[in-house]
Structure 1
Amino acid sequence: MTLLRQGYGPDDLRHDLLAGLTVAIVALPLSMALAIASGASPASGLTTAIVAGLLISALGGSRVQIGGPTAAFIPVIFNIIDQHGYDGLVLATLMAGAILIVAGVMRLGTLVKYMPQPVITGFTAGIAVSIFTSQIKDALGLDIERLPADFFERWQVYFQHLGSINPAAAVLAFGTLVLLVALRRYRPRWPAFLIAVVAASVVVLASGLPVDTIASRFGGIPTELPVPHWPQFDLAMVRALLPSAFTIAFLAGVESLLSAVVADGMTGGRHRSNGELVAQGIANTASALVGGLPATGAIVRTATNVRAGARTPVAGVAHALFILAFVLLAAPLADYVPLPAMAGLLLMVAWNMSETERIRQLMRAPVGDRVVLLTTFALTVMFDLTLAVEVGVVLAAFLFMHRMSDVVALESDVGLIDEDREDAEEPTAESDQRAGLPDGVEVYRVSGPLFFAVANRIDDVLRAIGTPRVFILRLRRVPLIDASAVTALENLIERCRRDGICLVFSGLQPQPRDVLRRMGIVPDGADLHFVDDFPAALALARKVVEAPAAAAR
């Protein structure tokens, strides 16, 4: 609809087709390598790039987003296949697709911007270490029949099989890595991944090096797309895979929206976050049904698309169609690709994901942020991403609450300043301020959001001030309150009533006033009063204090 509204001409098509071809050249070897590292067949990676890539571009909320398999999914997919087989992965991806669609419909896309940076960096760096660890077997040509999923067990198996190193595989992997580094430095615009894989394949064919290839391990790449099928599952498997489904949905949502933000910065556009989530959900569902892998927006491929001149989603659709053309017309050529070269490619991907500069920067941050970063990183490497993200987010939330509780001030405020007047002058001496208050009146002021992390302070206020005749609580600087704060205020109200103290809330803002009203806290005209400003509160306090004296006369 956007293309029809804004117009689309031959020049736009030319730019988009060229960009789509450029990205397809990058995505072709990378999709196969990512699938192999995930414990799946290279054909499943190509299927994902075709099906999910086409749908993400056609339906997504970013004009230049490129979707497909990404490195972030590798440890998650490997663990699911290891524990539940490929049908388990299909089911988890289907559930993740449904979660993403629901999240988009509920307009939760904007929540991603609240993800703490130490958590994102921690699990990204942890995934990089996991990818590096997973490629040691193929990079060294180790004779290992089956790799365990556990990090420590995997390294134990590696050390046990060091005697089976294949020198040819090690040299080929190292040579591929060196070529990638050289191309990245001296020819950054060249398709380094494709050049390195083709060069390694030619070397193996010409020299007959004894290394594993795609054909020798996987039996080659099919020349057609698989037929959609529904996985076999039961309720117990659904329950077991639900945490993994949430992890896939989380990764797909976070990475795609981060990629869209990067694209916005490069193009000056603006993506639709909720539309992007719905598109990711549809794409993952379709990918799972045809034997593909989880997919999301790929930051590097999206940036490549923009640099290549992409103008509209047609470029992303073209990228998927170019890969489809390769599968239909030239898939047998992929049979000769050596797996050590693919391992070298993924070692480069792992280094690119490690974010060493960002880690060094965050290690100069406050201690709490460093703890969140290192905890998330360690749990991602040693356990799994689901636990790492859960613990990281919870730690970051507690850290935020602790910091916010330090910001909120609950203090004695005996000054007579009218907070509605910007030109009002604060009295300088506390004795002068105190002299302006009637006997038996105490004043406290709250500054900052009143939420559960600071609500307990309210309970301590009356213990500090005794039993005044009138207690004024100034709340104009409280922008919001939550249910815990309301409960604490209820306790304060009950205690004031029990001790015969007249309680006055001064300067309630709209949100706190509305929350109190909806939760049944309303002024009663006797023990509890709401007034608009401090002068009105002070006038009411004088009237209450003077009333017993007048009655005595």
Structure 2
Amino acid sequence: MFSKWFFTGRYKGYSLQSFQKDLLSGLVVAVIAIPLGMGFAIASGVKPEYGIYTTIIAGIIISLFGGSKYQIGGPTGAFIPILFGIVMTYGYENLLIAGLLAGVMLFLMGVFRLGTLIKYIPRPITIGFTSGIAITIFVGQVANFFGLENIERHEKFHKNVIEIINHFNTVNFYSMLTACICLIIVIITPKFFRKIPGSLIGLLASTIIATIFYPEQVPTIGSTYGEISSNLPEFSIPEITFDKIVNLIGPAFVIAILGAIESLLSAVVADEMTKSKHNSNRELIGQGLANIVTPLFGGIPATGAIARTATNIRNGAMSPISGIIHGMIVLIILIIFGPYASSIPLASMAPILMVVAWNMSERHVFFQLLKTKTEDSIVLVVTFLLTVFMNITVAVEIGLLLAILLFTKRMSDSLVTVKALPDHKSKNGKMRAHIVTDTRDCPQISIINVDGPLFFGTSQIFSQKIINTINEKPRIILFRMGNVPFMDTTGEVSLSSFVHDFMKDGIVIISGLKRQPMNVLKKTGLYEAIGEEHFFEHTGVALDYALTMLNNNKCLDCKHFAFKECNSLSTGVHHSKEKVYSK
């Protein structure tokens, strides 16, 4: 059973040539992942080797158990603000517990097949917090770019900006020169050598220059965080208590949601590039397992990395083997070259993370949504500002709440109730609203078109709209509900209240009701209260029935002539000729 689940479709037609392609792509991605892994760890407030451990362990597990053939997992920039906040508030040990709890949540989300629900998170929210995270990362690297001294890092964005301004007079010329060299190389390398990772070339070149020409003049990883060990990470289970779980469940949930969004977005990008299809629930299971195991070796939370996944595909990856190879190569490099990484200047890492922030900012989509000047623009701006000036937890919560409220408001405005009558000029007597006038409106039968969902957002105004529409109480009301796509129990209560009040002296007829609203009425008993004989599939048949229920005495001398039958009814002469009306 497990082997069938594990291997299904992932290695079909795999060959030696496929392995060679996976080997090359895995090597290239590993080279890119090393500086990013260290950089993301440093920016998150932990030691750089923890980022490498995450790259190795999470990268291998996500490739082994994930739902995308091409996904590359590891630490990502999106996690930086939330991880840094946890480290500042709770400490590194508790970060490991939060990551493990997030892994359990991701695993359960996959088991209970919640992967498809992630796509329902509104786009303005994802763009808002992604852009906010990008700004936070970019500003967070300014101090290292200019080599500012005595900088104290804060959880709040505005405090970090104030800290930079207050210490800008401590600019280190050598750090700035090192950062500029790295930045220039990172920018121009892809223009001439598309398959050579510019971040690695920039990192190596700027490090060599700094080491040869001005050693001891710039802060390095080693001088700031200590030497990077070439030893393998040790297995250790963090001390988990009930109190810690209670305190960390909120941050862990944010990590899980953010990890799910990032990984599934990355998998979608991979699908678009390869014309393949990932398994979203399996991807969440793989992400969950990775985040459960990685903290046991000192690693930080991980997710699917869009840029590294795209690079993996561009370099010819054929299967998850490339992701496994990427993790193994990083492990080999750690063992052989780990101590040498201690000589890397922090100023060399800063421009790499700044470029990552620039690329992840979604600036084009951000300004496009902003220009629409709609409710989405409000959600976008609020989520963005809260991400920057508060934290991503508050941003996502408030963003979702605001999106739901605005959506509800939009849906409530979409409910339309309008009177309609048959258009005698049309071939089949099609029902139209615009032909209802003061001089042509049946006093006994009101035909009401109900368009839009009948749910909690519209229930309060439904009855009032109907009362305003019919003006005076008719004998019969015919609801044309073919355009009611959805009804919840709150909407049913509103309809039921009106119906029971109206049926004290009148008759309610409903036509065209769809299956979902029909099931709701049957479950609540309103279907039985109205009467099965008062439900019709087509308006024409419903109207024929309604005409048989008229008080013919009231039709005498009526001048409205709403229906073709009115000519005979107003004079007291009855014809049996059948009239057919359009739906």
TM-score (norm. length: structure 1): 0.93
Query: Higher Cα Rg: structure 1 or 2?
Result: 2
Q: Deviations over 1:194-218 (max 9, x none)?
A: 1111112211221214111121122
CA distance in 2, matches of 1:298, 1:363: 27
Task: Describe the shift of the 1:265–1:319 C-alpha distance in structure 2 as closer, same or farther (beyond 3 A).
Answer: same
Q: Tell whether 2:391 aligns with 1:384.
A: yes
Within 1, Cα distance between the matches of 2:359 and 2:554? 79
2:329 aligned residue: 322
- Map Cα deviations across residues 219-262 of structure 1 (whole Å, 9 max, x no partner): 22222232222222433332222221111111111111111111
The 3-state SS of whatever aligns with 2:482 is strand
Q: Which moved more, 1:61-70 or 1:332-341?
A: 332-341
User: How far apart, CA to CA, are the structure 2 residues paired with 1:428 and 1:254?
Assistant: 45
Structure 1: distance between partners of 2:520 and 2:289 = 39
Q: Find 1:163's aligned residue among 169, 172, 181.
A: 169
Structure 1 residues 76 and 278: alpha-carbon distance in aligned structure 2, compared to 1, 3 A threshold: same
- 1:454 is displaced (CA, Å) by 2.0
For residue 369 of structure 1, what is the aligned residue in structure 2? 376
The Cα shift of 1:386 comes to 1.0
- Indicate if the aligned counterparts of 1:81 and 1:89 stay in contact, CA closer than 8 A: yes
Q: Given the superposition, is the C-alpha separation of residues 427 and 407 from structure 1 closer, same or farther in structure 2, using an over 3 Å criterion?
A: closer
Identity of aligned residues (%): 37
State the SS of the aligned residue for 2:354. helix
SS at match of 1:251: helix
> Which residue of 1 is the match for residue 520 of structure 2?
515
Structure-2 change in CA distance of 1:352 and 1:524 (3 Å): closer
Residue aligned with 1:545, SS? coil
- Alignment-derived partner of residue 563 in structure 2: none
In the alignment, is residue 459 of structure 1 matched against residue 463 of structure 2?
yes
- Please give the root-mean-square deviation of Cα atoms over the aligned residues, in Å: 2.5
Letter in 1 for 2:154: P
Quickly say closer, same or farther: Cα 1:427–1:384, change in 2 above 3 A.
closer
SS in 2 for 1:451: coil
SS at match of 1:523: helix
Deviations 1:514-533 (A, max 9, x none): 11112232233669932332
How many Å apart are 1:338 and its aligned residue? 0.9
Distance 1:520-1:228 versus aligned 2 partners, 3 A rule: farther
Give the C-alpha shift of residue 547 in structure 1. Answer: 8.6
2:71 is matched with 65
* Cα distance, 1:432 vs structure 2: 9.3
Letter aligned with residue 120 of structure 1: T
Aligned partners of 1:221, 1:43: CA distance in 2, in Å?
A: 6
Q: Which runs of 5+ in 2 are unaligned?
A: 1-6, 556-583
In structure 2, the residue matched to 1:349 is: 356
CA 1:471–1:138 in structure 2 vs 1: closer, same or farther (change >3 Å)? same
The reply to whether residue 110 of structure 1 matches residue 121 of structure 2 is no
Alignment-mate amino acid for residue 456 of structure 1? Q
2:222 is the alignment partner of 1:215? yes
The separation in 2 between residues aligned to 1:154 and 1:432, in whole angstroms, is 66
2:281 aligns to what? Answer: 274
- Tell me if the contact between 1:51 and 1:320 (Cα under 8 Å) persists in the aligned partners: yes
Judged with a 3 Å threshold, the aligned counterparts in structure 2 of structure 1 residues 549 and 200 are, in CA distance, closer, same or farther, namely closer
Aligned counterparts of 2:427 and 2:14: Cα–Cα separation in 1: 55
- Tell whether 2:81 aligns with 1:93: no
Deviations 1:485-531 (A, max 9, x none): 11111211232134x22222222111110111122322336699323
Q: Quick check: 1:413 aligned with 2:417?
A: no
Aligned residue-pair number:
546
Aligned-pair distance for 1:467? 2.1
Greater shift in the superposed pair: 289-298 or 132-141: 132-141
Contact 1:503 1:528 in 2 (8 A): no
Secondary structure at 1:363 match in 2: helix
Distance (whole Å) between structure 2 residues aligned to residue 407 and residue 511 of structure 1? 19
1:142-541 correspondence to structure 2 within 5 Å:
142-144=148-150, 146-207=152-213, 208-415=215-422, 425-426=430-431, 430=435, 437=442, 439-460=443-464, 461-465=466-470, 466-498=472-504, 500-524=505-529, 529-541=534-546
* Aligned partners of 2:151 and 2:167 also within 8 Å: no
- Deviation (angstroms), 1:425: 3.7
Q: Alpha-carbon deviation of 1:107? A: 1.3
Displacement of 1:71:
0.2
TM-score (norm 2): 0.88
Q: 1:230 to 1:43 in 2, by over 3 A?
A: same
Distance 1:543 1:3 in 2: 64
